[in-house]
Amino acid sequence: MPTRRNMLALSTMGAAALLARQAHAQDGGHAGDVMPTLGRVTGTTMPANAPQPGQRFRPPTRIGLGGVPIGNGFAPGTDADAEAALEAAWAAGVRYFDTSPWYGLGLSERRFGHFLHTRPRDEFVLSTKVGRLLTASTHPPAVKLWKEPSPFAYRYDYTADGVRRSIEDSLQRLGISRLDIVYIHDISPDNGDMGARWTEYFDVAAKGAMPALTRMREEGIIRAWGFGVNTPQPALKAIEAGDPDIFLLATQYSLLRHDEALDHTLPALAGRGISAVVGAPLNAGYLAGRDRYDYRGTIPEGMPRKRARISAIAARHGIDLRTAALQFAAAHPTVAAIVPGARNAAQMQANARSMEVAIPPGFWAELKQKKLIAENAPTPAMT
């Protein structure tokens, strides 16, 4: 007769096999597939941030729509699918939208703008990024992340004039009159164009982009600014060099990897009243069954087993891995919003539905007991 330990091992192996089959199928020409949502849906409204007197600006909804897939990140997508994803976000009550000139070399901004310019401007919050200027090119650079991007080349410019030019260009592509949040983008040691020289770009931004954005905020042109980066070093450096309001921390706080942000980055931001938006809360699809991790070419050692173990525990508690991952990333009090991407309506609807599932407290207790998440990690309250 099989022992309980053997049964749990078989369950973990089964979860790993299922995820492997899903990843193979989804990345083999099925980029728009969706992991089914499991669990009891509470029917609650979209989680929101209650305004507080004296608080720095935060987006209204705690889940937004990230623009990487709509910029043809990882796989090509159609205009119709992008429009449907944005329509599904709006119908679900999402009112925060994040994009960038970098996403598809202008493609994401154009697709966001095509939808949002028909919506009342005071009813949504829009963020984009500065630091790269685009110019039309018959020979655009080959960027592995973007599939069938727009025909533009890019150059870095973190000066005050560069920021103003970038914002004007973004408004033209978006067809929208103003921005709410502006992130200084990709000044980070993981940026392959910069590497160890990222601090040189940071010094330019500290003299140019940062004071320019502070003036724009003070003049009411924008409501908030910060950095959009994949590593903690630039964020921690920025809070010493300027007066930012909010940071887009991508690939830094997820169900699989959160210790550094939990113990260092988020407390440092909170101490100054600064909030965070979590980018890539699904590790760029890895926590939704994709065979990729963040924006890297390799999956870190040990992650497949960790994902399989958490998936097996989730299944025993009657929920799915994506739902657990999204709610975990949104639970920290310093996190103002999460911005998972979606390339079609079904993915956006699934992300929104995941925020309405009641996750049993025993699930989080088991993850902590098995040391699969940090003991001090905030987790959602049962509703």
Tens of pLDDT, residue by residue over 75-98, are 999 999 999 999 999 999 999 999
Task: Find residue 339's DSSP bridge partners.
Answer: 279
- Residue 161 counted as domain residue: yes
Q: What is the pTM of this model?
A: 0.91
Q: How many residues does the chain have?
A: 383
Cβ atoms within 10 Å of 272's Cβ, excluding its own? 12
- Residue 291 counted as domain residue: yes
pLDDT: which is higher, 262 or 53:
262
Give the whole-angstrom CA distance, residue 89 versus residue 95. Answer: 8
- Give the residue among 122, 114, 65 at the shortest CA–CA distance from 91: 65
Host domain of residue 344: 64-301+321-360
Query: Mean pLDDT, to the nearest integer, of 268-276?
Result: 97
- Is a pLDDT exceeding 70 seen at residue 62? yes
What is the number of structural domains in the chain? Answer: 1
- Residue 35 counted as domain residue: no
> Which pLDDT score is estimated for 29?
56
Residue 309, token pair as written in the block: 């173990």
- Residue 69 counted as domain residue: yes
Collapsed DSSP state (helix, strand, coil) of residue 146: strand
- Residue 59 counted as domain residue: no
Residue 110, token pair as written in the block: 């154009």
- Residue 28 counted as domain residue: no
Give counts: helices (H), strands (E), the chain: 13, 12
CB 352 within 8 A of CB 46: yes
Query: Mean pLDDT, to the nearest integer, of 286-307?
Result: 93
Query: Mean pLDDT, to the nearest integer, of 101-112?
Result: 98
Which ranges in the chain belong to alpha helices (H)?
4-27, 79-92, 107-116, 160-174, 198-207, 209-218, 232-241, 259-260, 266-270, 303-316, 321-330, 345-354, 361-369
> Which pLDDT score is estimated for 30?
65
- Is a pLDDT exceeding 70 seen at residue 28? no
Query: Mean pLDDT, to the nearest integer, of 321-333?
Result: 97
Give residue 348's pLDDT band: very low, low, confident or very high (50, 70, 90).
very high
Give the whole-angstrom CA distance, residue 245 versus residue 226. Answer: 6
Collapsed DSSP state (helix, strand, coil) of residue 34: coil
Could you tell me the sign of the dihedral formed by the alpha carbons of 11, 15, 20, 25, in that order? positive
Please say if 103 is a catalytic residue.
yes
- Residue 178 counted as domain residue: yes
Which of 103, 158, 253, 293 is an active site residue? 103
- Give the residue among 290, 284, 281 at the shortest CA–CA distance from 326: 281
The pLDDT > 90 percentage for the chain reads 84
> Which pLDDT score is estimated for 9?
37
- CATH number of domain containing 221: 3.20.20.100
- Residue 42 counted as domain residue: no
Tens of pLDDT, residue by residue over 113-139, are 999 999 999 999 999 999 999 999 998
